[in-house]
A = this chain, B = another copy of it.
Amino acid sequence: MQNHPQTDGRPTMRDVARVAGVSLKTVSRVVNHEAGVRPEVAERVRQAIAFLGYVPDERARNLRQSTSRPSSIGFAVSDVANPFFSSVLRGLEAVARSHNCLVLSASSDNDPERQDQLIDIFIQRRVAGIVVVPSSQHIGKLIPSVLRETPVVFLDCELSEQNCDIVRTDHFGGMTALTEHLISQGHRDIAYLGDNPSLFSARLRLSGFHDTMSRYGFATKEDWILTGSSTPSHWQTRVAGLLGNPSGPTAIVSAQNFSTIGAVMALHQLKLQRRVALAGFDDIPMGDVVEPAITVYPQIPLDLGRRAGEILFRRIAGSQEPLLQDISTSQLILRGSGEIKPTH
């Protein structure tokens, strides 16, 4: 094929110029809608483009005009298949799109080495910016000497001494709202189910609980603070044990997904689902379908992704605003399980 000298068969701007009988620069003008091309000439160029099926090569374009507009951003996360993170990605995508950017998404499986590798790969590709949900506080390559001018936004991690913007859920405030809600329904004997406090988010949620209880002058029993189980059925067993005691709690506040599901299972198992109140941090699948439906403080991952994207693109555009710690809040969804009144 004489018209397509390239190995991959695609015509170049040079081919278009030849067919249209103009210079490279004129083709470039037409492609970029620059003014100052005689209409007839422009038309001739457009015809040549259509005839050859020419599509400009963004890579080449970007190489020369690297200072100008961004084209890709990177998103490094433990697992995009996790619905929470895929919603974050969707929010990011939406913002990227409004800047004519695409998102390179990559999962690290919480492997710090893979995370470092991903950051390197992103830098090699000269992404305009990076959003990262760091694996267990691992900083690794996320340092100024590697990043240089490439902006990074951290998602849902602890504010460290790093100089970076952070977007996260309001763990403390959300748990405060949940606890206050149960208290407002008359409860004071409240059990707490949560993640292992090695996670900063788990610590923030737990302190939201402690703080609220003590602010109201209620005691928190150590036996009623359960942490660290990892499957719904394990949670079910522990919660059933807790509720088996007649002087058990009148309400349960659950700080995460799996413990909420386990609590639902335990309550149904003991037929206590209409006697013991339950309120959970983070919505659960079918949370509005079970009986009674579950009162929750939802996280809004789409919003987290959008916020992260917005600050990222402001940095890309050169914003020198002070480092941001952007906290996404939401509203309790009252569905029934959290509005059960205490029975003893």
Contact = CB atoms under 8 A, between A and B. Distances in A.
Nearest to A97: B106
B89 A59 contact: no
Interface in A46-85: 53, 55-60, 62-63, 66-67, 71-72, 79-83, 85
Contacts of A341: none
Query: What's the dominant secondary structure at chain A's contact region?
Result: mixed
A241 B305 CA distance: 42
A124 B8 contact: no
Contact of A81 (B58, B83, B264, B284): B83
Contacts of A93: 80, 105-107
A326 to B, nearest CB: 20
A315 to B, nearest CB: 13
Nearest to A105: B105
Interface in A109-162: 120-121, 123-126, 145-146, 148-149
Contact of A289 (B82, B104, B146, B265): B265
Contact of A102 (B85, B125, B126, B149): B125
A236 to B, nearest CB: 9
B58 A125 contact: yes
B285 A81 contact: no
List of 9 A-B pairs having minimum Cβ-Cβ separation, nearest first: A285-B285, A86-B86, A81-B90, A7-B67, A58-B124, A81-B87, A286-B286, A83-B83, A102-B104
29 contacts: A8-B126, A9-B149, A10-B148, A56-B124, A57-B126, A58-B125, A59-B63, A59-B125, A60-B63, A63-B63, A72-B104, A80-B80, A80-B90, A80-B105, A81-B87, A81-B302, A89-B105, A93-B107, A97-B106, A102-B106, A102-B121, A102-B125, A103-B104, A103-B106, A104-B104, A105-B105, A261-B289, A264-B289, A286-B286
